A and B are shown apart, each in its own frame.
Chain A
């Protein structure tokens, strides 16, 4: 005869319950991220790791961000790195988990410049208000103001940008800058 089920007693399980797997450590809530950025970010990060320790040097961080389509100032990156010394920049390394929040900060930066910002920035030097700046003046601006560029960098940049009068149409220049 089948045993009567006691309605008060808890239902007996057919088999003993298997020992529960140890609960995994609770993960911190992931920071919101754009999935597309993650994959290319991982790839770019890997490409820059020349040592093979899954880290990159502080002085590579800005370039990895640039490779990923961002345009951080060196000042912004230094701030994110805690204003490291020159020695730190060359020797300290950071793993991907440390890099990603810095990248996110740059991506989400309210100061991000777009086409209009660059054009407005160059318009400051457009004395005649005719849409052009003197190539020579632009070279001096780039080498003496802001985050100074070297002559070699400026030469590479300006190649083919000046017309026969040595003038640069800055809207075309900005489009060129933003094309890659």
Chain B
């Protein structure tokens, strides 16, 4: 459509909020940011998975210990 903006460059396709979809500079800047973001999110996700795994292992260990305590008591009182 016709651009009212004095700084408008009709060759560049602009989306909502005047974001230059075809501008190589803007795309390069975006790709760099996205790379940093993806790095961050992957590391964050792996950190959480590690935490989950550790928590599960701690729980399993506790359950095994409690279970063997129960078995010892049972044996002591019932056999």
Contact = CB atoms under 8 A, between A and B. Distances in A.
Interface in B12-68: 15-17, 19, 21, 25-44, 46-47
Interface in A113-154: 113, 117-118, 120-122, 124-125, 134, 136-137, 140-142, 144-149, 153
A17 to B, nearest CB: 56
A179 B44 CA distance: 10
A92 interface: no
A147 B19 contact: no
Given A124-B26, A141-B19, A66 B37 contact: no
Interface string A42-71: 000000000000000000001100110111
Interface residues of A, number: 40
Interface of A is mostly: helix
A61 to B, nearest CB: 12
Nearest to A179: B40
B35 A157 contact: no
Given A178-B40, A180-B43, 12 more contacts: A63-B42, A66-B42, A73-B32, A73-B35, A75-B31, A113-B36, A120-B29, A122-B29, A122-B33, A124-B26, A137-B17, A156-B41
Interface of B: 15-17, 19, 21, 25-44, 46-47
10 contacts: A69-B39, A73-B34, A122-B29, A137-B19, A141-B30, A145-B21, A147-B31, A147-B35, A149-B34, A180-B44
